[in-house]
Structure 1
Amino acid sequence: MFTVMIVDDEPKLRLGLQTLIPWQGLGYEIMGTAASGKEALRIVEEQVPDVMLVDIRMPGMDGLQLLQEIRRRDLDTHAIVLSGYADFEYARQALQYGVEGYLLKPVNKEELSALLQKLHGKISAQRLEKAVQQEANSREWTVYSLLSGSHDLESVSLDELAESLGMDWPQYQVVLIAFPGLHPEEDERIRSFRDRLVAAYAADGQGVVLYFAPYTVLLLGKTLAGDFRRADLYRELQMLSGEIRTQMDVAAGETVQELQKIPDSFRTARSLLDRSFFFDKGKLLTPETPESYRQAVSVSTDISLLDGEKVSFRLYYLVDVGHAEAIHSLLDETAAQMVIQGKGETEIRDRFFYLANETLRKTSPRLWSESIYPGEPTQFLAGIYNQRSIRDLVGYVAAVMERLARCADYTSRDNEMKRMLDFIDRHHYENLRLEMLAELFNYSSSYLGQLFKSHTGEYFNAYLDKVRIDKAKELLTQGMKVYEVAEKVGYSNVNYFHNKFKKIEGQSPSSYQKKQ
């Protein structure tokens, strides 16, 4: 954990920052607070924090004077400046002292958390660099310096260095191993994994293992030729990782012929890990690995699956009528169209959260209780952001929606036509169409129209109008205004409602209301 000091003369802000930010989750712990620059200096004389959050405006010694004194004393700490004033002159002066960021009050939680996360990686890299500098001619330092760009390629012959270190291999390939959600520099399980990796792949001189934040790097002198070799490596890495294997992502970069070109292989592997959400889990990623949903699903053309409102409308109806078998297909097609359109991971997660949340909001709480889901709806929704791949995300949401649909499926106690009429009765105020019902209940439109006429003696639209007018009569009896009733039962045009009512009831809505 890296230590943090909060320096601000406002007690509420000091307390607020301690509780607002998930410090431990970001890899930090609060070592203390100070109400002034002088108090902060007294504390750092005993312990220098890794990070200081400093307010610009404070009585006595202000934030800029504190930063100046810290730099004069050459203290090894990183500073983030907070200010209630959008003053660019203050920002310019603060930047002279090497601050990591300048944030305006009130502090935005997401913005500060993102800055702290970025700073965590920077501090980790700096510490590692200091450590490995003590072994300037080691294999690990050579690889690290090439990946970080700190190696002076003109001052030394890499061919000679590779030969002296026993790294004059015919080919090189970088394999990156990541554990999303874990802190590699803090987690003892990851350190143990790296030790086992060194014993398995570096002890014989045919590989190099090092930590390059946030990745464990495995540089291979024997490249991964063929699917069997790649699958074999992935299985071995899973075995070595032990209990944390379920959180492991692995990617191999391109094969290069020269030591100085290993950064190219590294960049390829890193780009794959950056997009790991779009790949199926359980395999080693390579430039040849196909992305999930890129070409696997034929996308429906009858609705735009990029229109979140239309898809949520369809998903809710599928749940409501108990059409569980169609839910996964709808979500698969939604994911496929978003991938094909180039939507990012965040946008896809947000869209699936919206679809699930809208469905739960409209669905009867009874269905949730009957679904016997091990948790509350809020826990299920939060889990959307914990799914590691797009296919996991689709399966996670689909499984719960299918649970709800099966609880809503009452075909065992009613025939399908009664089920359909009940659906119309409950959704009469919405934009119902015969074509939509046909798709929900898996009929052709023409056949359903005939079936409907045979069962009710009326065509679909006429039946729907009668249901709406019956509902309107109930509302008029309660004293609701005519234009309000029209909208409430599904007619956007009050004149159209007036004509329909008079045609069916033989009198106008207002006349009916007066008689009642």
Structure 2
Amino acid sequence: MYKLMIIEDEPWIAKGLEVALPWEEYGIELTGSAANGEEALRIIEKSDSDIILTDIMMPIMNGLDMLENLSKRTETLPKVIIITGYNDFSYAQQAIRYGVEDYLLKPIDQHELEKTILSIVQKLNKQKQDEQAFLAISVENLIYESLSLEQNRKPEIQFPYPVFRVLFSTEPLPVETFAPATSVAEYFYLYFQDSHLYVLGFETDELADSFAQTECSGFQGRFSVGISSKYEADTFCFFDAYKEAEQDFHKRPMNTGKHTPPVLLATGQEKQWVQLLQKGKKDEVYAMMEKLLLCHFSFNERWGLMLQFYLFLSKHCHPPLLTSPGGLIQLKKARNDKDLKTVLETVIGPLLGSLSSQWQYTISDIARKAVRYIEQQYSNPYLSLQQVADGVGVSAAYLSVIFKNEIGMNYIHFLTITRIEKAKKELADTKKTCRQISICCGFNDVKYFTRVFKKTTGFTPNKFREIHG
């Protein structure tokens, strides 16, 4: 429900506005009223409003002075409708300066008021959708970086739910898996290391428990999935949850009927292979993989290792370089050592070659391309690490490491700094509103923009403009 405040000094007019429209049908609730601007400011300090209906001429503080004071206290004004008996052009000019939605003359025409309210609700709905989409891509970027850098990261934004679990699968799950009837409030999907990850948000611990005990067990018989334990969102332990879900996946029987033991590559092993491939030593890595396979006696162990090889390579290969897109399917069909050898030769070998060729470009070249791409695309609020990686022709995981090692900061931090620098220039050189600047600089959420700007510069956008404008 959107919150509406009425500011009017004539009690009979204020009462008439309260019953002028069936507010609840428009998703609006009346949360307060005031007889003058000063009283209204005190109420707004305690409880924000989304929509304000205000008179101009009132005792103590008039409506326009109230808007001027409010604009100095907040970066985002509510949607404002002026209601007045004065058809004065100078008043209208002032109202336009504060971004007033409409200027209605008394006596109020009910149809005109309804038309204005419907327009405002539509704008608020669109604004809410944009903010949710921006939050979703921000959360996905943070999760992706946590996984790519193999570390839990303290977020710059708050995960929207208090509890989460991670679901791991090598195949996409049907869309109805997390239908509204389930206990999952919202999920964030990531395609990572040729695996499908679902970060599930829950409103309460009880709902997270219910999902694991009933709903999840219901579809684990139909799909091969692994699930993490529940985590408090403020810990932001997405990497830990991902590894836990991955290990749980490897402990469970596959749909093929075989059991995949938890054979996992050591982190040090992966780093060694990356260094060798960067030097073009693909044959040496291939030989090490063959030797590892010989160290395990059962077919299931070798099958599990081969899956790890494939996931490791998929993590670093850019999608166009996946020369055997059916490699995972081919591996799942393997029933003996001869089949595994075929997978090693026809899937793993070509992937090693492709990855080694990809890394012949210098890391500095890739970093420069990524920076240039971000400079051109920073205004896109949905710019993701994956999109930048696609733009420069490498995998998202590899690009994430390059940002950390070559540029000295992670992708999200670099993107944020770029956007803030652009916003500083807009504030100093133009008369655009904070909302306009937040949109053109790729934030799409003026409240988040204000919070990040102050954290980065030490000033609110308005204060920065006062000093440098």
TM-score of the pair, normalised by structure 1: 0.28
Question: Which one has the largest radius of gyration?
Answer: 1
Q: Which has the higher contact order (CA 8 A, sep 6+)?
A: 2
